Amino acid sequence: MPGLFIVLDGSEGCGKSTQSKRLAARIEQAGRQVLHVRDPGTTVVGEKVRAILLDPAHGEMGMRCEMLLYMAARAQMMAEVIAPALAAGRVVLSDRFVSSTLAYQLGGDGLTAEQIRATADVAINGRWPDLTILLDMPVEASMARVRRAKDRIEQRPMEYHAQVRRNYLAQAEAMPERYRVVDANRPVEEVEGELWGIVKSLL
Q: What is the pLDDT of residues 85-117, one digit of tens each?
A: 999 999 999 999 999 999 999 999 999 999 999
In SS3 terms, 57-107 reads as: CCCCCCHHHHHHHHHHHHHHHHHHHHHHHHHCCCEEEEECCHHHHHHHCCC
pTM (two decimals): 0.94
| 86-to-2, 31, 73, 89, 118 alpha-carbon distances in Å | 7, 16, 18, 5, 22
User: Could you tell me if 94 and 37 are in contact, meaning their C-beta atoms sit under 8 angstroms apart?
Assistant: yes
The topology under which CATH files domain 4-200 is: Rossmann fold (3.40.50)
Cα gap 23→9, rounded to integer Å: 13
Asked whether the bond before 40 is cis by omega within 30 degrees of 0, the reply is: yes
**For the chain, which residues make up each domain, given as ranges?**
4-200
Beta bridge partners, 170, equal none
Residues 15-74 have pLDDT tens digits of: 999 999 999 999 999 999 999 999 999 999 999 999 999 999 999 999 999 999 999 999
